[in-house]
Every structure is written in structure tokens, then in C-alpha cells.
Amino acid sequence: MPVTIDDAVAVLRAGELVAFPTETVYGLGADASSAEAVKKIYAAKGRPRNHPLIVHVARVDQIGEWAQRMSPAAQRLAGRYWPGPLTLIMKRAPHVNDLITGGQDTIALRVPSHPVAHALLAAFGGGIAAPSANRFGRVSATTAGHVRSEFGDVVRCVLDGGPSDVGIESTIVDVSGEIAALLRPGHITAREIEATLGIALAVPGAASPRAPGMLAKHYAPQTPLMVMEADLLLELAASMTRQGHKVAVLARSARQPLLNGVTWVAAPHDAAGYAHDLYANLRALDIAGCSALLVEQLPLDAAWAAVSDRLMRAAAGSASADAT
């Protein structure tokens, strides 16, 4: 029987974990007001305790339960992009558990737009702490099936809302200080944020809140992943298959060559489509049993910044990088 919103609310109230869809990626949620429940997130993911979590709420008027105040910049961005794929870092309210904030004086907050996420949050009433629903360092989940393959019986309650629209994690903007800073690029671009605020974003500095989840190695498949330009990719695929290796390719503009032993996925040509399919593509190529996963280089323009960011980290965290 499919999990209903009522089932999921009962599971959250019992202090257990619920995986749920959002417009960005699936989240692994727990009652944000219960330290015992939040601890289960860290245990299930294998995530270090000093990596803070995003608290999700149904409506902007609930922010006051978690943050001290909304700065003018926070109000502007919330007004423009919530509900939606944006996370805002604000000064935390005093009662918020250190397990959520990683002991920092700030908290990450988001009002998601996915109808199932919204229905869950509205019915639950409180905040739901939720990181992406993947094991620590691994590829995020954009379908209920991905969540099940990450966690199996460890997470029994998985709400299925179909594939996530955006496909990559929310844009994170720190609005806790004087000047807003971009901590994680996403579907909502730095340029859009700057246009909304009417000022340039600060480069995160020493004074910015740590976003320890932004490790150089992240979002990583098990197969060694390398990003390269199309000609080199075709040459390498040819020489590897000649030597009897199987090769996985995530192409964009390159045409599939006639080679045995190549598992080829042609990604969408636009940045939004590419992001939508990215994690599903990486997962499919990762289980193809290949010696290498070759990814065709992305365009350099701003629209591709968020996907480029994820691919760079995936390359740094994949098996090849770990072995060296």
C-alpha cells in the first residue's frame, strides 16, 4: 500500500524518519523539534554531526519559530522565491537544537513548493529537518526508487511524489550578515538573486557560516568519474574499449560512436533539463559495471554553474580520486 500523508505524519510524530519528495531532490525528514528524531537522520546517512541540516516549513509565517528575525534581504528573497528551491541562512532562534545548526549561531530554512512536501509540512504543522535522502557523500535521490536503493529497510516510510522537477539541491544564500552571500549554487542563479536584491552577492568569506556539506568530494558515484571535452572523451572511450574495458559515458553534444562496451547516455542540451536528469543519469551509469564514467564537459556560462559545481564534486569524490 502506498504511504499516505497521514501515515507519514504519524511516523514523524512517533520520532521516526520519513523520506519525502521536494522540487529539488528527495529529503530524509525528522521532527525538527525532537533531538532524538534528528539523531536518527545522522545515523541513517552516516553523516558527521557537525554538518547542519535545513529545516523545512509549510509557510513563511513559521520562520519566526526558528530564526531570530528576517532581515530585509531575507524578506525580499522569501517573497520572491518561496515556496521554491531556495534555502536561506538566518540567525537562529535560541531554542533551536545544536544538532540542527551544527553548533553555529545560524539556521538554514526553506519553504518547498512540491505539493507532497507542502501537504506533509502543512499536516505535520511543525518544522521538518531534512538533508538530501542519500548516504553521506553519495549521489542525491530524485525518485522514491533512488531513496529505497540508498536506505532499504532503514527508512521504511517513503512518500512517492514522482521524479523531482529541478533535480539538484536548492540554492543556498546566507542572509544572516550584512551582505548576502551565495553558499551553494542552484536552479535559482546568483544573477537572479542579485537582480532581486539589487546588489552584488558577497563571496563567502571567513566570517560566513560554514556550509560543511559543500565538501570538495560529494555527490559521488562509485565508478571513477572524469569530466572532459568531447574529442578527448571519444578517444579515451575508443582506447579503453580496445583494451577490453567497459566505459560509461554521459554525453551532451558528442555523437555516440560505434563501439562495443560503451554504455552511453545522451543528456538534455539545456541546463535545466541536464540538472533534472543528472542524478538519475549518474546512478544508471554507475551500476553499468564500467571501469570509468566519462562526462562531457559543460558550457562555461552562468546557466550551467550549479550543474558544473555538482559534477566537479562528483569527480573529486568518485573512486578514482579516493584511490589517489
Among 37, 89, 237, 275, binds ligand TXA (CB under 6 A): 89
By CB under 6 A, residue 317 contacts ligand TXA = no
Q: Which candidate, 91, 97, 55, places its Cα nearest to that of 70?
A: 91
| Residue 171 binds which of ligand TXA, Mg ion, none (CB < 5-8 A, kind-dependent) | none
Q: Determine which residue in the list 37, 120, 188, 211 makes contact with ligand TXA, applying CB under 6 A.
A: 211
In the list 62, 71, 104, 281, the residue contacting ligand TXA (rule: CB under 6 A) is 104
Instruction: Determine which residue in the list 71, 132, 142, 308 makes contact with ligand TXA, applying CB under 6 A.
Output: 132
Q: Which positions from 166 through 185 interact with ligand TXA, judged by CB under 6 A?
A: 169-170, 172, 183
The residue among 22 and 132 lying less far from Mg ion, judged by its C-beta, is: 132
Residue 139 or residue 234: which is nearer to ligand TXA going by CB?
A: 139
Give the shortest CB-65-to-Mg ion separation in angstroms.
24
Residue with Cβ nearer Mg ion (60 or 316): 316
| Residue 74 is a binding residue for ligand TXA (CB under 6 A) | no
Instruction: Please tell me whether residue 170 binds Mg ion under the rule CB under 5 A.
Output: no
Decide whether 1 or 206 has the Cβ nearer to ligand TXA: 206
Residue type, 19: A
Output the DSSP codes for 260-279: TTEEEEE--SSHHHHHHHHH
Q: Which of 132, 143, 208, 318 binds Mg ion (CB under 5 A)?
A: 132
Residues 251-290 close enough to bind ligand TXA by CB under 6 A: none
The dihedrals phi and psi of 65, each to the nearest 5 degrees, come to -75, -15
H-type alpha helices, the chain: 5-13, 35-45, 72-81, 98-101, 115-124, 144-151, 190-197, 230-242, 271-286, 305-317, 319-323
- Contact between 87 and Mg ion by CB under 5 A: the answer reads no
Omega before 257 cis (within 30°)? no
| Alpha-carbon gap, residue 194 to 15, rounded angstroms | 39
Q: How far is CA 107 from CA 138, 148, 249, 287, in A?
A: 23, 29, 39, 36
Q: C-beta of 262: minimal distance to ligand TXA in Å?
A: 32
**Cell digits of residue 92:** 537562529
The answer for residues whose C-beta is within 8 angstroms of residue 47's C-beta and 6 or more apart is 41, 131, 136
Provide the 10 A C-beta neighbour count for residue 223. Answer: 22
In whole angstroms, how far apart are CA 112 and each of 22, 27, 126? 6, 11, 14
Residue range at the interface with ligand TXA (CB under 6 A); choices 165-173, 199-207, 257-265, 285-293: 165-173
**Where on the chain is the footprint of ligand TXA (CB under 6 A)?**
22, 24-25, 27, 51-54, 87, 89, 101, 104, 106-108, 110, 130-132, 169-170, 172, 183, 209-214
**Where on the chain is the footprint of Mg ion (CB under 5 A)?**
132
